[in-house]
Amino acid sequence: IALQRRLQQPQELGVSELLPMLDPDVDWVFVEGFKYARLPKIEVWRSSTGRPLCYPDDAQILAVATDSPQQLPGPVPATVLDINTPAAVAAWLLDNAHKFDYQP
């Protein structure tokens, strides 16, 4: 599902402006592309991309979903999830739902 709105003035909106536009009765909202937003996050990392990890510098990252846990540098201060096991990721989300309550 996507929410699209036509705005009078073209502008880049942040998560804090977008979330209030949603129905307050939704159970979950997954967002992508707000790397620097102050939101609880799951970092998705594939070693084959060669991209650096964000979790060492972002305390908002609660878990790292990866296909290469053995390639994560040093101790990981977050939960490590197997990106190829969606049922386990979903179970972790349900068990930790309280950590994702959004407070603007």
Q: What is the pLDDT along the chain (104 residues), one digit of tens a residue?
A: 666 777 777 778 888 888 888 888 888 888 888 888 888 999 999 999 989 999 889 999 999 999 999 999 878 877 999 999 999 999 999 999 999 987 76
pTM value is 0.82
Cα atoms in the 13 Å half-sphere on the side-chain side of 82: 6
Domain spans in the chain, listed from the N-terminal domain onward: 15-100
| Protein fold of 15-100 | Rossmann fold (3.40.50)
Can you give the pLDDT at residue 82?
A: 97
Closest C-alpha among 40, 36, 34 to residue 61: 40
Can you give the pLDDT at residue 3?
A: 67
